[in-house]
Structure 1
Amino acid sequence: MRYKKLVLSLLFFFGLLSTVSAQRAEVGIDAGGAGYMGDLNVNNPLKISGISAGIFAKINFDPYWGLGLYYTYGSVKANDLSSSNADLRKRGLNFKSNLHEISILTELNFFDIYSPVAKKRFTPFIFAGIGGFIFNPKANYGGGDATLRIYRTEGPLEQYKNYAITVPYGAGAKYRLTENLTLFSKIGYRTAFTDHLDDVSGVYPAANSWKGDPPNQAAYSYFLSDPHKILQK
């Protein structure tokens, strides 16, 4: 899978606090669950593996359109050994990563719930935008965590960047509880323009790929790249 998709949402929590009159400016918080789709989760786009939380500030141009700046934290993980796929269990890879994203999102409400003459309190909405995020995949090995990027698990020349562009998009629903407080729930995906979110991308390197490295580091890199080969010996 060339690009990873993050379910950095299923955000069930809820806080939108108006800071000026007529709901023109808003600040808020959200929290919920996070997950990912990629080489260690190939067919379940709703699988939640960690938490997600964030803060935002948004300007509403009218009752329908808004533009906001968002910070989102997420944690995701996956383990081949818990997969229902026998080939993945045989491979035996695992990873976890914390994610920090900054994004700019535009939002469209379907109904007017904010103007002085609004007759509705509920509206569906959709959103999309662009952002960037930092990630740092780690794997459990020997009772501790190995920072996979350091060990260049796809070969000695493959030390990828730990940041990438994302394209967030999704949908949700809002309910205007009071004049200054709105509750919302949403589900959102991110297409992340990196193939290294889970540290899995290309091919398994050969055992002698790290010839110039100290023996312990070379063996460690090889095991983290393809553990089932070591375990079969």
Structure 2
Amino acid sequence: MKMPYFTFLGIFMQHKRIHFRILLVVTALLAGAFTGKVKAQQEMSYVGELGFTAGGAHYFGDINTSTGLQAVKPAVGIFYRKYFNDYVGARAHFRFMQLGYSDVYSSNEFQQRRNLSFNSDIFELALQGDFNFFRFEPGSDDYRFSPYLTLGLSAFHFNPYAYYNDEKYFLQPMHTEGQGTAAYPERKPYSLFSYAWLMGGGVKYSLSRRLNLGLEVLFRFTQTDYLDDVSTTYVGIDAFALRPDGSPTMAAILQDRSNVTGTPIGVAGRQRGNSRDKDQFATIELTLGILFTSYRCKF
């Protein structure tokens, strides 16, 4: 018995609708899987951070031998940090700082009599590696805080100066310890550029997916003993030429300021500083970082 044409057509259309619905379901599942894979492949990651720092800087050396903290001076900086993962990053950091100290802060009798002081502007470019102790994911509820260790190397420029009768005098050109003179050929004029090994640490907290706040302490082991223009021994006032009128030059005056506190002690060969130890300085800074993100393939 032959099936009527319209009955056959109805059965065919019914099966076609069923097949079409199955096709729609399969297509939707495939699309969902593909979209999920694309989202996984294009997961957001942090690639860099532009930051700003502000705080204080302090010097330790021949004038500050007891690690006193009576002369904290300003420090500001700007940095860019590259993230490699949630634990490790590297940064370039430029800072401007001021350093200074005076023997008047010391309780040591010799230093009080010596009466030396200095100030200096510091321009520093540092390369630092940062290592988080905890996993750090800005914006995350679970991984938004971490202490960290930072190590690195910096190059910096300094130029010590002192005041006399409210006038500012740069000390390096005055050769206060006989540098570059015929009487002391072994004492070469010191460079105003040096470098330092860096070691420090801090804590950071993610305020949002775009902002990090932190606090960092960084110590510098410099390779110069002349941040303060003090290192070896007095050369005595006779090592300095007189002015045409017979009065002492500013170099002769600034190499020995002990006359202010009593009988001058700056005789040739007497200890003025300690050349065995290099000068050091440290900073404590608040940091604010602006994060840069990227969508990149993770699988």
Which shifted more, 194-203 or 205-214?
205-214
State which of 145, 163, 170 in structure 1 corresponds to 2:193. 163
2:240 pairs with 1:210: yes
Q: Give the Å deviation of 1:85.
A: 2.2
Change (3 A) 1:124 1:197: same
Deviation of 1:75 after TM superposition, in Å, equals 0.5
2:209 maps to 1:179? yes
Deviations 1:89-114 (A, max 9, x none): 11100100010100100000111122
The equivalent of 2:11 in structure 1 is none
Higher mean displacement: 22-31 or 115-124: 115-124
The 3-state SS of whatever aligns with 2:225 is coil
- Whole-Å separation in 2 of the counterparts to 1:167 and 1:156: 26
- The alpha carbon displacement at 1:46 in A equals 5.0
Q: 2:89 pairs with 61, 66, 90, which one?
A: 66
Larger-gyration structure (1/2): 2
CA 207–28 in structure 1, closer or farther in 2 if over 3 Å, else same: same
Higher-strand-fraction structure: 1
Q: Report SS of the residue matched to 1:154.
A: coil
RMSD: 2.3
Q: Which residue of 2 aligns with 1:92?
A: 115
More helix by share: 2
User: Residues 213, 164 of structure 1: CA spacing in aligned structure 2 closer, same or farther, 3 A cutoff?
Assistant: farther
| Equivalence map 1:134-173=2 (5 Å) | 134-157=157-180, 158-173=188-203
**CA spacing shift, 1:120–1:222, aligned 2, 3 Å:** same
Separation (CA, whole Å) in 2 of partners of 1:51 and 1:216: 41
Task: Please show how residues 1-233 of structure 1 align to structure 2 within 5 Å.
Answer: 22-44=45-67, 48-114=71-137, 119-157=142-180, 158-211=188-241, 219-229=249-259, 232=263
1:208 to 1:82, Cα distance in 2 relative to 1, 3 A: same
DSSP 3-state at the match of 2:45: helix
Q: Is the 8 A contact 1:151 1:217 kept in 2?
A: no
Q: Does the C-alpha gap of structure 1 residues 215 and 179 become closer, same or farther in structure 2, counting only changes over 3 Å?
A: farther
1:83 deviation in Å? Answer: 2.1
Aligned with 1:23: secondary structure? strand
Query: Unpaired segments of 5 or more residues in structure 2?
Result: 1-43, 181-187, 265-299
Structure 2 residue matching 1:222: 3-state secondary structure: helix
1:48 and 1:61, CA in 2 relative to 1: closer, same or farther beyond 3 A? Answer: farther
Q: Which runs of 5+ in 1 are unaligned?
A: 1-20
